Amino acid sequence: MKKYIGFDLGGTNLRAALVDVETGQVMRNKSIPTLAREGHEAVMQRIATLALELIAQSGLEPQDIGGIGIGVPGVLDLEKGEVVFLPNLPGRWEHVPMRQRITELTGIQTSLLNDARAITYGEWRYGAGAGADTVAVFTIGTGVGGGLIINGQLHLGIGGTAGELGHTVIDHNGPRCGCGNFGCLEAYASGPAITSQGIKAVVQGLTTSIGKMCDYDLNRITPELIANAARDGDAIATSIYEQAGFALGITAGNVCTALSPSRIIITGGVSRVGSLLLEPMKRTMLERVTTMPVEQVEVVLSTLGDNAGVAGVACWAAAHPKE
């Protein structure tokens, strides 16, 4: 059976992986800097070059590859195969025909998918969501993304925009989110949101070990440093994760009420703090959801880690070659 290539288009790095779509196994991968400041045409040239290099290093020919899937961190027009908007990459990525361009440059049929939806698809096919009929995924890192599997199908909605769980509003009077709205989950539970709470605590002179742990260099405060402080019993650090977990629990509770998923998967860099985030999340869900059996909803961590996105988008390319 032909192999497929899954791409993770990141603001810092491009990663390509040769994937066995039967098992989700990443057989070989290669990463290079994105250099997004050079513009979208240069980035697409780098994607094509990286794909062809990976194929050659794997001892294969382009005709041995069934397709290329690219996980894109932004808004897409799946029908046209266009990038509509990329918020975290420099330059004007407006209506860029990426699917057509990569197909031209490589000679290999190419498919696009939002990166969080690619992670969702990968976890459902091969990872923590396997065997579940309805799944919600929260990807918590620099931002908060998401995705939904409903009745055994990746739910895309209008133009592939469904599943933006990080931009559901939990407080209409809350802080401004990067998306332009106010009070989104992302403004409370993303890595930068957690970090900013740690910085604020140190600047205000609150009784916390966070400042001492970084020699009062505010640039060294990270979600992981705050997590370490919390594990050491720091009350302020613990409260920061309590607040983030509460916000996540409110959003997850709303998803439970609307969709009644059998499983919720938490992934992304911030998810590595584990129970510090998940315990207040699950407690909030139990307290706030009254119209469905929320205690039956499994809340689990990703099992595929960094491979979920590339495996998912490679599988998507195999199953939906015209997307």
CA dihedral 106, 112, 117, 121 (to 10 degrees): -60
Stretch 112-132: mean pLDDT: 97
CA distance 261 to 289: 13
CA distances in angstroms from 254 to 27, 33, 247, 321, listed in the order given: 38, 38, 11, 34
How many other C-beta atoms lie within 10 A of the C-beta of residue 79? Answer: 10
Tens of pLDDT, residues 132-177: 999 999 999 989 999 999 999 999 998 888 999 999 999 999 999 9
Q: What is the pTM of this model?
A: 0.94
The answer, yes or no, to whether residue 322 has pLDDT greater than 70, is no
First to last CA, the chain: 21
Tens of pLDDT, residues 28-79: 999 999 999 999 999 999 999 999 999 999 999 999 999 999 999 988 999 9
Q: CA 2: distance to chain centroid?
A: 27
The answer, yes or no, to whether residue 287 has pLDDT greater than 80, is yes
Taken in order 153, 123, 228, 276, the sign of the CA dihedral is positive
User: Nearest-CA neighbor of 252 among 226, 210, 287, 221?
Assistant: 287
- Beta strand 3-9 with 13-20 is antiparallel
Task: Give the position of tokens 């069934």.
Answer: 66
Which residues 6+ apart lie within 8 Å of 305 measured at CB? 267
What confidence score (pLDDT) does residue 323 get? 65
The answer, yes or no, to whether residue 245 has pLDDT greater than 70, is yes
SS3 10: coil
| Topology agreement, domain 3-120+307-319 and domain 128-303 | yes
Phi, psi of 263 (to 5 degrees): -150, 140
What confidence score (pLDDT) does residue 201 get? 97
CA distance 148 to 204: 40
* CATH number among 3.40.50.10860, 3.40.50.720, 3.30.420.40, 3.40.228.10, domain 3-120+307-319: 3.30.420.40
H or E stretch at 201: helix 191-203
What confidence score (pLDDT) does residue 283 get? 98
Which residues 6+ apart lie within 8 Å of 179 measured at CB? 87, 167, 186
CA dihedral 255, 323, 5, 135 (to 10 degrees): 20
- Give the residue extent of every domain in the chain: 3-120+307-319, 128-303
Q: Are 90 and 96 in contact (CB under 8 A)?
A: no
CATH of domain 128-303: 3.30.420.40
What confidence score (pLDDT) does residue 230 get? 98
CA distance 59 to 21: 18
The answer, yes or no, to whether residue 248 has pLDDT greater than 80, is yes
The DSSP secondary structure of 38-101, one letter per residue, reads G-HHHHHHHHHHHHHHHHHHTT--GGGEEEEEEEESSEEETTTTEEEE-TTSSS--SSB-HHHH
Q: Are 139 and 265 in contact (CB under 8 A)?
A: no
Q: Are 287 and 98 in contact (CB under 8 A)?
A: no
Please state, rounded to an integer, the average pLDDT across all residues of the chain: 95
The structure tokens listed for 175 are: 């802080």
What confidence score (pLDDT) does residue 89 get? 83
Share above pLDDT 70 across residues of the chain, in percent, rounded to a whole number: 99
Stretch 250-254: mean pLDDT: 98
The structure tokens listed for 193 are: 């949101």
